[in-house]
Amino acid sequence: MAGLITSQQMAARRAPRGILWAVGILLALVLAACSSSEPQGVPTVARVDGKPLTLAEFNSMAAFMGLGGDPALLEPELRRAVVEDLVGRALVLAEAERQGVVLLPEELEKRERHLLSQLEPEAFKHDLAIHGISQEQWRDELAGQLLMEKALRLILRPKIRVTPEEIAAYYRDHRSEFHRPEQILAQHALLPSKPLAQKLVDQVQKGMDMSQAADQMGAPLAAGGQPTWLSRGHMPPGLEKKVFALKPGQLAGPLPSPYGFHVVRVKAKRQAVVLSLTQAAPEIQKNLVAQKQEALAISLLEELKAKSDIIYDQQFLEKGRLAPARSK
């Protein structure tokens, strides 16, 4: 087939594994790939078992990876990496369908609420506008990513075993990871001016909920108002000294820094510690499971590719322009 190369030929030119097909929370337009028929005239960068992977899908994924909107401006290795991401996505979703894996509405709603609680609403809208998508499109992409995660988890987790010996060996070889600095559990607001920060302090001292007061001032708290653990070593020194001197229940502000004026309420404190093997075991277990799942996912993808008919547009991979359609 003119202008096209097979998956076997593509394997010899694969992009670095650092750009994995499953990376990132916002993979682009997952559900748009679910049609099994190819409309006439739709630009196609590859096909998986006859299913087209379109130029529109490529452009969307490239935009979400921060690679811009013109494929011809990308380095060939990056273009190949994005196409391989599209291929991997199509293969995993097809396998999910074969195995009857579906995403429940409540699973999507739970993750969506969690993500949105960590985002500043205006910044989120700004990012959507930059990428040229609606929140509904973003939600569809999130659904596709979650379906991929669920499929991989259900397919691969039964094959994963982590032994006590592996946990002990990891703890021995990575002991520095389990040194925990002093931490505070705090609510935190950052305001652009001292008068605004003082107004927030005054309202909280009068008994108003800190999150509600900040929302009314148009300066919502970080993490959706939920207290978060903050560690020493991650703040400007002057601010850190004042914040870590607070006792649980105390409120401080306005506290100046190069970023603005801070208001902080401390809920709890943790002293610096070195976790024991017993304390660290759950975290180690989680890390080792994730490592093994990633390795199995790579193997699964290679297995699915070997069993599939994958055709790539060679001219697109090399130059970022589609090969001319063959006349019939």
Separation CA 290–CA 287 (nearest Å): 5
Give the start-end residues of each E strand in 160-259. 179-180, 183-191, 228-231, 251-257
Q: Where are the domains of the chain?
A: 4-158+294-319, 182-271
Q: Is the pLDDT of residue 119 over 80?
A: no
Task: State in words which class domain 182-271 has.
Answer: alpha beta
Residues 6+ apart with CB under 8 A from 268: 184, 185, 227, 248
What pLDDT, on a 0 to 100 scale, did the predictor assign at position 327? Answer: 47
User: How many whole angstroms separate alpha carbon 213 and alpha carbon 196?
Assistant: 11
Give me the count of residues in the chain. Answer: 328
Report pLDDT digits (tens) over 242-280: 888 888 988 988 888 888 888 888 999 988 899 999 999
Does residue 23 contact residue 89 with C-beta atoms inside 8 Å?
Answer: no
Condensed to tens digits (0 to 9), the pLDDT of residues 156-165 reads 999 999 999 9
The topology (CATH level 3) of 4-158+294-319 is: Triger factor/SurA peptide-binding fold (1.10.4030)
Q: Which range among 41-50, 165-174, 296-305 shows the weakest confidence by mean pLDDT? A: 41-50
Structure-token pair, residue 256: 């100046």
The more confident residue out of 216 and 305 is 305
Rounded Cα distance between 134 and 131, Å, is: 9
pLDDT band at 133; cut points 50, 70, 90: low
Token pair in block for residue 151: 């499929």
Structure tokens at 283: 């975290």
Q: Measured between alpha carbons, how far is 200 from 206 in angstroms, rounded to an integer? A: 10
